Amino acid sequence: MKEYLKKVRQPGQSVNPLFAYLGVVVDEISPGRTVMHLPFRPDFIQGGGTIAGGIIATLADEAMAHAALAGLSPGETTATIEMNIRYLKACPSGAITATAALIKKGRRVMTLQAELTDDNRQTVALAGASFMVLPKKE
């Protein structure tokens, strides 16, 4: 897992095809915390003229998942088991930054939260999620 987390931070990385497709940039990954941002692209805009909520939710999920991954012990992996998001402000353009933190790691479930902000550092959305701690399959 540590090798993956090292590689996903590199510019032009190919270990996470979703990040490559969306253009996600990983700014920080440390045990239990991540910061990543999504540069604006016009094709993220939905019919109402703002960045689609699904794009924001995807960034939130990925930020929390990577904070969870960074907080795992050797031999463990994880999967999202539930997520909630509250949209607080429309975002018509600009990069979105997700800052995620591990709140609690139990033996079977990890709890995380994320704040998503716009270019003006105003909160666009708040998210929370639970992740199952699983033994890593070899």
Identify the structural domains of the chain with CATH numbers, from first to last.
Answer: 2-135 (3.10.129.10)
* Below-70 pLDDT ranges, the chain: 1, 138
In angstroms, the CA 76 to CA 138 distance is 11
Identify the burial level of 15 via C-beta atoms within 10 angstroms of its C-beta, where 0-12 means exposed, 13-18 middle and 19 or more buried. middle
**CB-CB contact of 109 with 132 (8 Å):** yes
Which pLDDT tens digit goes with each residue over 93-116?
Answer: 999 999 999 999 999 999 999 999
The predicted-structure confidence for 43-58, as pLDDT tens digits, reads as follows: 999 999 999 999 999 9
